[in-house]
Amino acid sequence: MAKIFHTDGSRLGFFTAVFDAYACKDAYLTSQNNFQCSLSDEWIEVPINEEKAKRVSEKLQALDARIFLEIDCLLRTCYPDREQIAFKYMKLIIKHGHRARENFSLEIVRKARDYISNVWNEVHRLHGFLRFKECENGVLYADCAPDNDVIELLSRHFKSRLKTQPFVIHDVKRNRAVLYDGKRDICVPVQKADVRITERERSVSALWKKYYHTVAIPMRKNTRQMKLYMPKRYWAFMCEKEGDDC
């Protein structure tokens, strides 16, 4: 019989569940509401407890600062077993030390490293694919629908690039957005954004689309390679691909 520890999907919820489940041999952590468990399993709802979460976080920071960052990355993945993978990976590092993360003979290590790579690969792609629009209020706005929950990671890059320029990165899939005022950023829930772009933005967008289609060579079009370098799931948010099916 397994014990299913169900969390709200937040970092605090995860670390609270770790505190409660750590000594349990058959523990399974999840935030999925549609998780399928057997009749013999015990379902445990885990309410957030900031004191428990703090104790786990501080312990991890003291043992291995890198594992704390890796867990944060694992919890951003789109995979339904992310909490369980993060939980098992964390226990492995705590038990065997930092060298355990290089033991690729273990399935949990391979899976955790694959999940982490998937997150950072998407962040890297969106550094180039994200398209900002100039709004009438002087703020730059970019919408996206990434596979993983990465808008905070994207914000770090664009704060460095844009310096004091205010911007918004809106994850329309998760209804969340990072707001940056030129000094600080904050992540807030956003259902829908009222975006009013400038005439200059319309002109630049039209010019860029004209250039994009002008330099294309129809006789050498390679749709398969295009989708490899520029995944189709990002096209809806790129002005140069508006109206293109391939």
Ranges of residues in the chain with a pLDDT under 70 are 243, 245-246
Domain boundaries, the chain: 3-121, 130-246
Q: What is the pLDDT of residue 246?
A: 59
User: Which of these, 155, 133, 103, lies nearest to 206 by C-alpha position?
Assistant: 133
Which tens digit of pLDDT belongs to each residue from 163-199?
Answer: 999 999 999 999 999 999 999 999 999 988 899 999 9
How far is residue 112's CA from residue 34's CA, in Å, rounded to a whole number?
Answer: 23
1 close to 41: Cβ distance less than 8 angstroms: yes
Q: 19-36, pLDDT tens digit by residue?
A: 999 988 899 999 998 888
Query: What is the reported pLDDT for 189?
Result: 95
* pLDDT score at 35: 82
At 136, phi and psi to the nearest 5? -60, -25
The whole-number pLDDT of residue 64 equals 84
Q: What is the pTM of this model?
A: 0.89
Compute the mean pLDDT over every residue in the chain, rounded to the nearest whole number.
92
